[in-house]
Structure 1
């Protein structure tokens, strides 16, 4: 994330891709979401999913990891150019989380972020709020994951 003033509505960023493999899906499910369709391919085949699928929370965790890595890359580039790096966060929350289609073992999701709005903070003049539409699209070009994110971003005047 850049400084609040340098962020424009409509800015888009590709965050990266991830392939969800069966062992990883099962390991995440064992630790965090132990439902049969996340844990056992045979059991999952008998559900409406027709096969092993990743937990929605697994999908969200991968988005979070890729989002943080993209931010770290940008901030590293800024530091390398000798630029000041803005403080970012915390997030006051998100809205409209959607798991639109199942993520099957072997699916590759590409994650992206698009700035949809921004406004100065009314209570903290050194910060602004940046709103973005976060998405995950599978290898067939189908949107499978989406939500509206919000994060505090430092203002340059601060």
Structure 2
């Protein structure tokens, strides 16, 4: 994880990809979003989606999974090289979450984050606030998910 001072506005990071399976779509829906078009092939065919599709929350949760996995890889790599690793703090939230297209069985979504702005925290000077635009894009190049987020990132110097 980079320190706040090392994060550059405009930098984009591909977090990873995930392929949605029928089983995973149904499993997530049974637990968290039991809509017929997430649970049953025939019901999904009759819906406006036309086929079984993932919950938007499932699509968003996989963005978070990709973010955490990428963070763990980056921390392990930096630690192995003896480099200091910045702490990631809490997120004050996100906004403008949009599910732009359905995610169907077999779709592979590639997740990314791009730094849009940053500012030092007035109330917590050891932290900076990083503002990002986050996306999920399917294998056809279609944007299926986007949202804006903010997170506290440790500063190297105070």
Give the TM-score band, short-chain normalised: over 0.9
- Map Cα deviations across residues 64-122 of structure 1 (whole Å, 9 max, x no partner): 01100101111111111111111102000001000000111111111111100000001
Partner SS for 1:61: helix
Establish whether residue 104 from structure 1 lines up as the match of residue 104 from structure 2.
yes
Question: Which residue pairs with 2:10 in the alignment?
Answer: 10
* Alignment partners' CA distance in 1, 2:35 and 2:68: 28
1:34 is displaced (CA, Å) by: 0.4
Computed over aligned residues only, the root mean square deviation of the Cα atoms, in angstroms, reads 0.7
Q: What residue ranges of structure 2 are gaps of 5+ in the alignment?
A: none
1:131 is displaced (CA, Å) by: 0.7
* Alignment partners' CA distance in 2, 1:69 and 1:14: 12
Question: Which residue pairs with 1:42 in the alignment?
Answer: 42
Number of equivalent positions: 158
Question: Which residue pairs with 1:117 in the alignment?
Answer: 117
Partner SS for 1:31: helix
1:157 is displaced (CA, Å) by: 1.2
Partner SS for 2:71: helix
Question: Which residue pairs with 1:70 in the alignment?
Answer: 70
* Residue correspondence of structure 1 range 20-59 to structure 2 within 5 A: 20-59=20-59
Partner SS for 2:112: strand
* Alignment partners' CA distance in 1, 2:12 and 2:25: 29
Partner SS for 1:50: coil
Deviation above 3 Å: which 4+ runs of structure 1? none
TM-score, structure 2 normalization: 0.98
* Alignment partners' CA distance in 2, 1:71 and 1:62: 14
1:24 is displaced (CA, Å) by: 0.6
1:56 is displaced (CA, Å) by: 0.5
Stretch deviating more after TM superposition (38-47 or 81-90): 81-90
1:149 is displaced (CA, Å) by: 1.1
